[in-house]
Amino acid sequence: MSIYLKKGQPNVAAVLQSREDEGSLFQSLPVDLKMAVFSLLDAKSLCLACCVCREWRIISSDNSLWRRLLQRDIRQWSQISNVTNPRLYLEMDSDWSQKEIYLKCSPVVQQQLKVATSTFQQVSSYLKSFIPRKVPKVAMFGPGLETSTSGVVRRILYEENNIFRRIALFPGQFDGVGGGMTLRLPSRHTLHLSVLYSASKQERERREGHDRLEGNKLLQKRDGDQNHPECQVSQYELKPQIRHLCMTLDAFIFVVDATQTQETVSASCAELQAMLRERKFGLVPVLILSCVPRPEDVRLSADDVVSCLKMETLTQPWLVINCVTETLASIDQGIVWLVEQAQIR
């Protein structure tokens, strides 16, 4: 073999011996130093390391390593749902290890699993398309419709795009409330979408953000709660016509502006809870669009939004997903999830 080596090229045997020496050197390190080295690895590298030898498998599966990795990476996750929320497993004192929780909840890992089974999913989706299904009626509401991310409605309903095809209009049923548009996605998922604003355009332009609940045309204060401002989440309820509309809905879309502070997003929790309270026992799915106007904008993480809106207290299926108003990035992915969840019921 040496006759094929160019001048100055290292001998293969020497290279292998060098690597063996390096491996032996690493193996001779104390366990705490090995742990320090492994703590620098990402999830994929740790999973690969566990295949090397028994000792590496033990070290790379250490709970403290995966706990730190989870705390670091969750800030970068683009979506979290009711079944991929790490707090769900941690608060339940699950028997799952930190590694198992991470791999179950990580959107990157879940996406790789989908790719691995993509052929089966495509065939399954094609066959399901022949089964008649009810087109879900969905209401979109939330503070994100009235801030810098308000353009999401215009982009979906009125501007030309390659994601949403506008099929038909339908009228409102309850004092003019509930009208909207039927939309179809390239994946053939279809929905009836109604957009609910908290006030007229002129009123929204005049008022400040902190007055939003007080002047909200969707909500009213519950009897007996006026003297308990500390119970903001429970002191509001839906107005009668909105309550009647709510009982006809199959799913909800709640839009928040992820460029705002955690305190501001938390203030919208009362509006979300009031709407969901009417369908508490219906397992109606909820999609949270955590929007920013442009891709480069600084945003709250999906995990921040989950905490602000107290999503872990909900009993129905939910998904928080990062979106971009300008490009509609990830909005279609969220709506596909919502339609499929609504049609399961």
The closest of 144, 188, 196, 140 to 325, measured between CA atoms, is 144
3-state helix, strand, coil in the chain (%, to 5): 45, 15, 40
Q: What is the pLDDT along the chain (345 residues), one digit of tens a residue?
A: 433 334 454 443 443 345 445 556 777 788 888 888 888 888 888 888 888 888 888 888 889 999 999 999 999 999 999 999 998 888 777 788 999 999 999 998 888 777 656 666 667 766 666 677 889 999 999 999 988 888 999 999 999 899 999 999 988 777 767 789 999 999 889 999 999 998 877 777 676 555 677 778 888 887 755 544 444 556 788 888 899 899 899 999 999 999 999 999 999 998 999 899 887 767 899 999 999 999 999 999 999 999 999 999 998 999 999 999 999 999 999 999 999 999 986
CATH no. of 20-113:
1.20.1280.50
274 contact partners, CB below 8 Å, separation of at least 6: 218, 219, 236, 237, 238
SS3 sequence of 89-125: HHHCCCCCCHHHHHHHHCHHHHHHHHHHCHHHHHHHH
CATH topology of domain 134-344: Rossmann fold (3.40.50)
The ranges assigned to domains in the chain are 20-113, 134-344
Grouping H, G, I as helix, E, B as strand and the rest as coil, residue 185 is coil
Distance (Å, whole) CA 240 – CA 244: 6
